[in-house]
Structure 1
Amino acid sequence: MKNYEIAAMSRKELLEKIDELENRLADINFHKAIEPPQNPMVFRNSKRDIARMKTRLRQMELQESSNA
């Protein structure tokens, strides 16, 4: 997911997407224990997407607190 896509999301959308990606990451970890993954980059990309979204949430929080 690209940064401009994340920037266009609302807080609610970000939280839902983070939850979805964390569930997907748990599934990947589970399947990784059973057999090697087809594409190991999926794990890394999911973690990075989650980090980007959490960073955007934090930016939104800081922006709201500075405007208040």
Structure 2
Amino acid sequence: MSKATKPADLRAKSVDELQTLLLDLKREQFNLRFQQATGQNEGVSRVRVVRRDIARIKTIVAEAAKKNAAGAVASAAKA
């Protein structure tokens, strides 16, 4: 991912795909921090983009969980 991911693109993915993407971004974030600590990081702006993409994914996963929980409560109330 070279640019920031749009929320609409992320919402189209399944939760499993988002979890996989989140894991990849966390690995990239670790590598970028490591490069920054050793002075090898030339793409400083990428750290910010990755951090914000992680936040976007976490937000969308939480929205999906909340939506599923609300749907389960509504269906239980009808029964």
TM-score normalised by the shorter chain: which range applies? Answer: over 0.9
Aligned pairs for 1:1-68 (under 5 A) are: 1-68=5-72
Bigger CA radius of gyration? 2
Ranges in structure 2 where 5+ consecutive residues have no aligned partner: 73-79
Q: Percent identity?
A: 25
TM (normalized to structure 1)?
0.95
Segments of 4+ in structure 1 off by > 2 A? none
- Equivalent AA in structure 2 for residue 31 of structure 1: Q
Give the unaligned 5+ runs of structure 1.
none
Secondary structure, counterpart of 1:65 in structure 2: helix
* Number of corresponding residues: 68
Which TM-score applies when normalising by structure 2?
0.82
